[in-house]
Chains A and B, each alone.
Chain A
Amino acid sequence: MMNVADTLPWWAALPVAFLLILGGVITVTGAAGLLRLKNFYQRIHGPAITVTLGAGCFLIASMIYFTVLQSRLVIHELLISVFVLMTAPVVAMMIMRAAIYRDRRSRDLTKLAGEREEV
């Protein structure tokens, strides 16, 4: 049985494969950041590259693949990128603010506990 992907001409298969591999490498790198980096404020930067460049590579690959395969312009992936780029920054900011709030609060609480002990 012939795979659908086999009907893709080589000049389209090449960039698609390249972009998929590149996107995969970037995604793995972003995930590795979560593992390797030591504190929270560093770890928050890891997934950012997955969301932007990693997702971008996959979406461009998808656009090329389906445009060539179906012989018509398939660009609704643009919507995905728009929505990702509109939501991901907000999430990053919320997580960041939550972390800052948590740190300030625990600092205040330890200070408070210290004062109580002195009394």
Chain B
Amino acid sequence: MRRWMPSPALSAGLLLMWLLLNQSLEPAHWLMGVFLGIVAPLLARPLQPQGYARIRKPLALFRLLGLSLIEIVRSCLNVGQIILFRRSEGVNSQFIRVPLDLRDPHGLALLSCLINTTPGTVWAEIIPDRHELLLHIFDLQEEQWWIDTIKNNYERPIIEVFESGVPAGRKEGA
């Protein structure tokens, strides 16, 4: 089963995408969608040196995405307000460093997408030897607040989604 369908979630996503693109539920489109869902992941497999991501807790993922959506809307309003009503010189734009415990490459990819999608924060790079994230904040008020938010609201759920073998709390203690 694994051999022919390395990532069921990806296959289901492709099928759904095909049906949405064609805006139809006719059997022919189902057939083509299932074909794509099986063949495309197999053909694309060599492009993924790490293998496909395994989402261990889909519910936690949806919860994370929902919370991120709220955060995105909130940040949008904040950034819009700053652009309209504040002078550029008064905006405290800074780089900050956030130490990361997350190691899974898929988890890091998701984290970077969420951080970059949220207005006001842009991922700059991971400093390799210390595994710290260099993050640019549009209007920095309190550095510790940002570090806590990233670690508690984003990193911990992502660790839970991708690396659920290890509870998030144990890593910090070790």
Contact = CB atoms under 8 A, between A and B. Distances in A.
B122 interface: yes
Nearest to A37: B88
A52 B83 contact: no
Interface string B74-86: 0010011001100
Dominant secondary structure of chain A at its interface with chain B: helix
A74 B24 CA distance: 10
Given A49-B119, A53-B76, A85-B113, A97 B125 contact: yes
Dominant secondary structure of chain B at its interface with chain A: helix
B122 A52 contact: no
A8 interface: no
Interface of A: 26, 29-30, 32-33, 36-39, 41-42, 44-46, 48-49, 51-53, 74-76, 78-79, 85-86, 88-90, 92-93, 96-97, 100
B72 A46 contact: no
A96 B123 contact: yes
11 contacts: A33-B83, A36-B83, A38-B89, A44-B136, A48-B122, A79-B20, A89-B112, A89-B114, A89-B116, A93-B116, A96-B122
Contacts of A26: 76, 80
B31 interface: no
